[in-house]
Structure 1
Amino acid sequence: MSGTSPAGSSAGSSAGLPVATAREVRRHARRLALRHRRELTVAVVLHSLGAATGLAGPWLIGRLVQDVSAGVDDVGRITALICFFVVAQAVLTGLAMFASARLGEKVLAQLREEFVDGVLALPLGTVEAAGTGDLITRTTRDVDLLARAVRYAVPDTFLSVVTIVLTLGGLVLLGPLLAAFALVSAPILGVATRWYLRRARDAYLRENASYSRLAEGLAETVDGARTVEALRLGDRRFARVQSDIATSYGAERFTMYLRTVYLPHVDVSFILPVVATLVFGGLLYLDGVVTLAAVTAATLYTQQLLNPVDTLLFWLNELQVGGAAMARLRGVRPSAAPASAPGESHGPQADAVVDKGFELHGVSHAYRPGHDVLHDIDLTIAAGERLAVVGPSGAGKSTLGKLLAGVHAPRTGTITVGGVPVASLSLEDLRAEVALVTQEHHVFRASLRDNVLMARPSASDASVEEALRAVDAWSWAASVGLDTAVGAGGVELSPAQAQQLALARLVLADPHTLVLDEATSLLDPRAARHLERSLAAVLTGRTVVAIAHRLHTAHDADRIAVMEAGRIVELGSHAELVAAGGAYAALWRSWHGQD
């Protein structure tokens, strides 16, 4: 696990989610060990006892060879002792592996829970910038790789280390010279292992990042299949997939190169100790320096070292893979997000927000450096005001809504709610204060009731019904039934019904400020108009920022902000802007077919 990777960067993927450094991974592993100190101690003791009983067999066989060569008939007793220690070793090793597996499952469950908590707590802007492919790969492939490491690699590696240490101790007790013969391969193995470890972590991080990009490209192509077909983008998407596969192939080929260089050195290092112990131990016996029993036991101990060393080196590769996976999973946490990302607490909290109005001063924003999509926005939104934001596509309306909701932080300027910077609010307080609803909605695989209760789990059925009535959804919801499963595998809701469901959650959540980005776009104009009038009664007294193309939404607002090319070009009431004869008046006339 040597080498470093800056926190907040993804090896091999500049746009990916953050990756924890090797030091952070080791520190977290130590915290996990201390958290489960008792279970770890039991596993250590059992592994040590199992390894210690395994030392008795070679020593007894050495004694047996010595006694037979001296004409002493003690075969029965020594054979019985060997059988006893073999059985004892099997029992202790089995108990040790069970204790390790049980501890591993606890640690793995905890790591998974921390990962899920980290994903849910990440600022939305961070997730959007990274793309879904990276998150999906970490949720699936990286979790599976870490599970394999925790369940199998860590227990086997620990047992191997304990066995190696105790076996070397037994060799030293037999004779320092005999122990030295068992270590003749240590320099070769040490140099080769150091060479491998210096390259392996970054190589596996690049490999995992390449899988993320490949998964993201495939997901985009599948999700946008109709668009790809309509615009004849198949060749371009196929070229993207081919490029991603080539990148992934190159990354995986490099890790294969590391293994093909490293493993032959390992194989050579296995042969030399046994040969050295037999040859030089035999010469020492002929010179009378050591006994035949010592040479026999030392040879068996050296041979016995091969299996744990082989196991250790075999799992070393898996530990590198698991370590890279843990670095990627550990990187998904709120503290790994950029310092300027909204949703991190650096100052006053939501309980300090008394006046719920917004203040924007000199706000600019860019998704790519040097390409601002918002330019020096100055805007005041009073508490309880209903502001409509209109303008042509690409004017920056949705970006403004995301900045108000704290999805993104402005590149320059400040955004405050009640005098408190939006970026200083914790994610929990931010979501309780400001809610963003777009035309993109998700129906979770659960009952209809549970889909609404996600906004406020403690709400009663009466409150659920009231929320559904507020968005004109009770008629179809009552016919479906609150206990009916919806979503994947259940009753399929239409896009309009899914949109109403999202709005019902919003009503139940009861935030003081709502940012509605085309929130009724999937409804037909007449139904959307009726729904907006119903919502108006529910949302009385709340601050509402409505981003819309349908100008009847703007007509009902207290004020209207007209945006063009990332700037607010007009601001006023419907009557004022129509009378001014500017951009809004032109939109209004066009909306009514007067131009």
Structure 2
Amino acid sequence: MTLPVSEPAAARHAAVALVRDHPGAFALTLALTALSTVAGLGAPYLLGRIVDVVQVGGDVTWLALLIVACALAQLVLTRFTRHVGGRFGERVAAAVRERFLERVLALPAALVARVSTGDLTTRATGDVSTVAATLRSGVPELLVAAVQAAFVLVAVLVVNPLLGACGVVGLFGIVVVLRWYLRRARSAYLAAAASTSRLAEVLVSTAAGARTVEALGLQRRRIDAVVAAIEDSRTHVMRTLSLRTVLYPVLDVSAVLPLVGILLVGGALYDDGVLGLGAVVTCAMYVRQLTGPLETLSIWLEQLQSSTASFARLEGLVAVHEPRPSAPATPAGDRIEVSGLSFAYTAGRDVLSGIDLRVRPGEHLAIVGPSGAGKSTLGRLLAGLERPRVGSVTVGGVAVADLPPDVLREHIVLVTQEQHVFRDTVRGNLLLARPTATDDDLRAALHAVGAHWVDDLPHGLDTELGRSAFHLDAARAQELALSRVVLADPHTLVLDEATAMLDPTAARSAERALAAVLAGRTVIAIAHRLHTAHDADRIIVLRDGRLAELGTHTELVNSGGDYADLWRTWHGAGAAT
């Protein structure tokens, strides 16, 4: 599954909203741009006056000094314009980054699990960086260029409308080619970005499954998939290049045509005595100043289109938030109930069907069944990470999937073997679970799961974690994750083999830490290994997505049903209860 892309109108509205959030900086940038442009218009006008004065033998000293003054004023104002514009761009870029992060964190966990890793990764890295770079430098420069071009054209028309018309007509080719380019660029750059996401997905999945690829001899197949993804990406990139090969030559030629037109028409009018030489020189110099804005346009236009596509991809996250009640009810108690539950990942094929279940507060419940029976899916539904297709999963009478993440975390937490250590301090990693926790609370949570190693860290809770900083091994990472559970303090834990991927020594350490977390809580354990189910209060047996059996270990073994068969297979035909 790939995330959607914002429609052009919605993206434009979002861009305008970003500017409106920083009205002062934007207005100051425009004002300084206008002032620097006006200062720049002074020199051509004064040069034309010098030509006229020289023709009659007058003194031009004061005019020359004014030209120097205009140049200095333009230099100073341009410097401040770019400084203010850069700050404006940085603020907007920061807002884009923060808003994207907020939206990603607000995405339903079930959706994140289904989204292509490459698609989400490239949006979080490449798209954010592209938009930020353009906002930082490109947008301020393009804003300056647009204001300069507008002022120059107005100045030419004021000096002489006929020559101004010649300049405007000479720019007609730019208008035509820009319309042609912009009609095609958005879809081309969006397709290129999507192909980059697909390439990233293939590379990430191949690297993540390297051991499986090697074990099953799939190297050739994966290489072919990577080569195909690279070729697909290359095809789309070449499409954007072909558009630029039409755009840039027209821009280069169109930059010269207004000057040629003014010189030809102005020269003819001067010969006829209709127009003075100073006016021709002034108009020619003004039009010559269009070279700068047009060069800026040619430099940043491609980047702007790429950024527009990236911005549309970032804004596409607005459309993926699943609706939740505006004011969800507060769960009344800890009782978890499942009624008439059916669920499917794809239409027409239920993974679970007709599940009814009541989980008593404080109960230890195990979920067992053959591979593919739906155990992990049921665990995700109980933890609120998926929404039932039919039926309901409630805690305290409130639908689990309707609870906001912070409220859900106070009631139910899913613990798996996949625990993430963020590139942050120990404190920062723990405060994710309870932002209001004190340092004493954090140390108590760590000590509760046996993570006394925090006391030996070089900077204690302020120690930076990550591969380039202090690296936690698998057992310590699991203890850190379990400390988050202690801080969140949910009444129910859903365990999906939290220690299955650890080596025996690390697993024993993690299991001791886990025992401290489980005390006094409702525990729903997805048992891929049956010894996990042996000591549970009750056991659910799933078969083909349906609840086949429910009872204690002894009851199920004595009944001779599916669980008894699984138990004998696990422990041997002569296994006792």
Identity percentage of aligned residues: 48
2:66 & 2:454 partners in 1: Cα distance? Answer: 76
Structure 1 residues 125-173: Cα deviation after superposition (integer angstroms, max 9, x where no partner): 2222222222221222112211221122111111111111111111121
User: Is structure 2 residue 34 aligned with structure 1 residue 48?
Assistant: yes
Residue 3 (structure 1) aligns with: none
Deviation at 1:28, TM superposition (A): 1.9
Task: Name whichever of 301-310 and 49-58 sits farther off.
Answer: 301-310
Q: 1:156 to 1:447 in 2, by over 3 A?
A: closer
Residues 495 and 522 in structure 1, CA contact (< 8 A), matched pair in contact too:
no
Deviation at 1:535, TM superposition (A): 5.1
User: 2:500 is paired with a residue of what secondary structure?
Assistant: coil
Gaps of 5+ in 1: 1-14
Residue 85 (structure 1) aligns with: 70
Instruction: Write the letter of the residue equivalent to 1:337.
Output: V
- Residues 297-336 of structure 1: pairs in structure 2 closer than 5 A: 297-332=282-317, 335-336=318-319
Deviation at 1:582, TM superposition (A): 0.5
Please give the TM-score of this superposition, normalised by the length of structure 1: 0.89
2:489 & 2:518 partners in 1: Cα distance? Answer: 9
2:506 & 2:147 partners in 1: Cα distance? Answer: 72
User: 1:169 is paired with a residue of what secondary structure?
Assistant: helix
1:497 & 1:66 partners in 2: Cα distance? Answer: 84
Structure 1 residues 323-380: Cα deviation after superposition (integer angstroms, max 9, x where no partner): 1112222333xx43253xxxx532542x611132233333333333333322232323
1:17 & 1:279 partners in 2: Cα distance? Answer: 55
Structure 1 residues 403-445: Cα deviation after superposition (integer angstroms, max 9, x where no partner): 2222222333332222222232222222332211111122334
Structure 1 residues 527-576: Cα deviation after superposition (integer angstroms, max 9, x where no partner): 96897687567545533211012333323222211112222111122232
Residue 398 (structure 1) aligns with: 376
Paired residues, number: 572
User: Is structure 2 residue 484 aligned with structure 1 residue 505?
Assistant: yes
Q: 1:248 to 1:524 in 2, by over 3 A?
A: closer
User: 2:573 is paired with a residue of what secondary structure?
Assistant: coil
User: 2:367 is paired with a residue of what secondary structure?
Assistant: strand
1:260 to 245, 250, 255: 245
Residue 262 (structure 2) aligns with: 277
Residues 496 and 522 in structure 1, CA contact (< 8 A), matched pair in contact too:
no
Deviation at 1:491, TM superposition (A): 4.9
User: 1:437 is paired with a residue of what secondary structure?
Assistant: strand
Deviation at 1:45, TM superposition (A): 0.9
Residue 325 (structure 2) aligns with: 346
Residues 380 and 386 in structure 2, CA contact (< 8 A), matched pair in contact too:
yes
- Residues 97-116 of structure 1: pairs in structure 2 closer than 5 A: 97-116=82-101
Residue 16 (structure 1) aligns with: 2
Instruction: Write the letter of the residue equivalent to 1:244.
Output: A
Structure 1 residues 33-66: Cα deviation after superposition (integer angstroms, max 9, x where no partner): 2221111111111100100111111111111112
Residue 8 (structure 1) aligns with: none
Gaps of 5+ in 2: none
1:224 to 209, 214, 217: 209
Instruction: Write the letter of the residue equivalent to 1:371.
Output: R
1:381 & 1:574 partners in 2: Cα distance? Answer: 16
Residue 178 (structure 2) aligns with: 193
Instruction: Write the letter of the residue equivalent to 2:571.
Output: H
1:36 & 1:446 partners in 2: Cα distance? Answer: 30
Residue 415 (structure 2) aligns with: 437
2:189 to 198, 204, 223: 204
User: Is structure 2 residue 94 aligned with structure 1 residue 94?
Assistant: no
2:34 & 2:470 partners in 1: Cα distance? Answer: 57
Residues 348 and 425 in structure 1, CA contact (< 8 A), matched pair in contact too:
no
Residue 557 (structure 2) aligns with: 578
Residue 248 (structure 1) aligns with: 233
Deviation at 1:478, TM superposition (A): 5.6
Please give the TM-score of this superposition, normalised by the length of structure 2: 0.92
2:512 & 2:293 partners in 1: Cα distance? Answer: 74
Deviation at 1:525, TM superposition (A): 7.6
Residues 134 and 213 in structure 1, CA contact (< 8 A), matched pair in contact too:
yes
1:188 & 1:194 partners in 2: Cα distance? Answer: 10
User: Is structure 2 residue 43 aligned with structure 1 residue 57?
Assistant: yes
Q: 1:96 to 1:451 in 2, by over 3 A?
A: closer
Residues 348 and 424 in structure 1, CA contact (< 8 A), matched pair in contact too:
no
Residues 348 and 420 in structure 1, CA contact (< 8 A), matched pair in contact too:
no
2:572 & 2:250 partners in 1: Cα distance? Answer: 80
2:354 to 364, 376, 382: 376
1:223 & 1:246 partners in 2: Cα distance? Answer: 22
User: 1:520 is paired with a residue of what secondary structure?
Assistant: coil
Q: 1:585 to 1:137 in 2, by over 3 A?
A: same
Structure 1 residues 88-145: Cα deviation after superposition (integer angstroms, max 9, x where no partner): 1111111111110111111111211112222222222222222222222122211221
Task: Name whichever of 242-251 and 205-214 sits farther off.
Answer: 205-214
2:240 & 2:571 partners in 1: Cα distance? Answer: 64
Residue 168 (structure 1) aligns with: 153
Alignment root-mean-square deviation, CA? 2.5
Deviation at 1:218, TM superposition (A): 1.3
User: Is structure 2 residue 549 aligned with structure 1 residue 555?
Assistant: no
